[in-house]
Amino acid sequence: MGRTTENTVDCEGSRVQRCALIPALQAIQGRYGYIPEAELKAVCKRLNVPLAHAYSVITFYAQFRVRPVGRFLLYVCRGTACHVKGSGGLLDNLTEALGVAPQETNEEYSATVETVACFGACALAPVLVVEDQLRRERRVYGQVTADKLRSILSELKSMRESDLEVVLHEQDQTA
């Protein structure tokens, strides 16, 4: 009887630690944009969760990433409505303009291109969502044509350049 109680307590404790794993992983990813291995090992140690279990969680949930991403994360919707409205061409134009394959990050870490099944905004098809990792902003662009894509990419380039000027200006002030 005592043994059953002990097992129940152990089981409950383990469940609580495993439940804490997902929020911990979300916090790490919120900070770094992905989950660095060193941080993953540290959180597993702190929560007493096997590393293999943590990896199974990370690979199960599409939200988690184990590789660094670019400043801008560009998601092209590949759902049916967007496909019908030309998201395949949009993805081609985007990957060609950035010189990066889908699910990859460009060399300067300015952009990562990803695809998703459906954003739930089918009336706006084709849809492109841009997440700015630096400003922590997310923008949804609908009915994205080739011209509109060019203007979006030029806007993102301007944002990068103006942010870089701010950083350089701040460095000049502190030098």
Rule CB under 6 A: say whether 90 interacts with ligand FES.
no
- What is the torsional sign of CA 106, 109, 110, 111? positive
**Is the CB of 81 or the CB of 159 nearer to ligand FES?**
81
Residue from 21, 49, 74, 82 in contact with ligand FES (CB under 6 A): 82
Which residue's Cβ has the minimum distance to ligand FES?
79
Report the amino acid identity of residue 156.
L
DSSP state of 63: T
Rule CB under 6 A: say whether 127 interacts with ligand FES.
yes
Rule CB under 6 A: say whether 81 interacts with ligand FES.
yes
Q: Per CB under 6 A, which region of 60-68, 96-104, 106-114, 119-127 contacts ligand FES?
A: 119-127
Strand partners, 74: 113, 130
Burial environment of residue 63 by CB neighbours within 10 A (0 to 12, 13 to 18, 19 or more): exposed
Between 145 and 164, how does the x/- string for binding to ligand FES read (CB under 6 A)? --------------------
Cα torsion for 49, 63, 167, 154, to the nearest 10°?
170
Q: Per CB under 6 A, which region of 26-34, 73-81, 99-107, 153-161 contacts ligand FES?
A: 73-81
The residues, ordered by sequence, that sit 6+ positions from 141 with a Cβ below 8 Å of its Cβ are 127, 128, 129, 130, 148, 152
Strand partners, 114: 75
Site for ligand FES in 49-68 (CB under 6 A): none
Rounded distance between C-alpha atoms, residue 120 and residue 123, angstroms: 9
Residue from 64, 72, 75, 119 in contact with ligand FES (CB under 6 A): 119
**Nearest approach, Cβ of residue 72 and ligand FES (Å):** 19
Residues of this chain that interact with ligand FES (CB under 6 A) are: 77, 79-82, 118-119, 121-122, 125, 127
